[in-house]
Structure 1
Amino acid sequence: MEKLVVLSGAGVSAESGIKTFRDSGGLWEGHDVMEVASPEGWRKNQDLVQDFYNQRRKQMLECQPNLAHQILVELEDNFDVQIITQNVDDLHERAGSKNVLHLHGELRKAQSSLDPNLVYALDHWEIKKGDKCERGSQLRPNVVWFGEPVPKMLEAIDIAQKADIFLIIGTSLQVYPAASIVDYTPSNIPIYLIDPNSSFHSLPKNLTHFQKSATEGMKILKEVLLWS
């Protein structure tokens, strides 16, 4: 069974109603992204950051997977599908995808503000002031903020190197190091890009670009993959 590796970004979740900061001039739900997605923002105002992610978590639980998520699940009948996602929501999993690697963390988890290796699953939407890890430090969102290392990057590269087909969907390829994952794919394998943006530069020759939304592009790609 061919290995289909998928790099997904915010454009997939946007059609489920989850807003992205890159569509708002650097603002994310009305906040400067550095206020809510950086270690400096956390040190400056923990209450603001905690409340921001509590609201994102609550919003996520009210959203549902869309057709793009569902088609990726359907393709598991014909391909070994591995998803590498930049998204912190759980919509891929809730749609039924079996193999999902979260590069930038997960909203449904918390981590120690002292030791990022101490990660805990959440069974509720709120992290409160005073919620602490086993070492006594305040719990914070399990999200990789700007300026922090991406701990699962090497695992993502290893997955990309084994791809027979590579799909990039819903991402502008502007967030590094995630955007560089495509550079590690085997030479000359088919690469597909689904994104309505046309301002991409230096795309590989073996790449096919569908300038469509995530849902419309996945409907087209499903037919291409199953009939090729």
Structure 2
Amino acid sequence: MDGITIEADDVIVEEFRSVRPEAPGIELTGHRVTVRKNTVVGPRGGDGDGIRFFGDDLTIAHNTVRGTDNSHGRHADCMQTFASDTPPSHRVRIENNRCEKVDNMCLMAEGPNDGEGDGRGTTADFTVRGNHCETLRASQALMFEDVQNATITGNVFAAPTDHAIGLAHHSTGARVNGNTLHSGIRYEVGIDDSSRAGYRGPEPGGLP
């Protein structure tokens, strides 16, 4: 089964269920796109991601992604964006989603200047709120590289990762508060020196 691909502006994708789709289960590229109340189970092939997104003024809300699989060298995230010959993303709301039994990260967000991107533009202004995150194999649940002004609040980190949130490669201006952590998580935030400007949140426990 193919996944769902959106390449358009001003679109709402709602209440679809994809079981073992070709990964990514949902991929969206555009502006003012809303993806809500969808379910992706067991995406396969490719890098194994549940949802990939690129563009501006995006809303990803009340979706469930379950059972991403890191086997065969994949990095199977619940959600991912990057800026390597793909548009950088701005003003993205990721709210009240459930990432269940995902092998890799619940969110991997990479900007254009993270060392692997195309160096064009910026990635900025993410709100990550109220999500349930169960990541089984990665060192962190959320990773931001060259993403400015992320607000990360009210999420539940339900698995014992090394740390919950990583901020690296000039991911400045992050705001972190009100999250609930599994007792096995060593520390909430890992941060590198380039990302400390404008950071507000709990004292970082180490590197990302």
TM range (shorter): under 0.3
For the pair shown, which has the larger CA radius of gyration, 1 or 2? 1
TM-score w.r.t. structure 2 length?
0.27
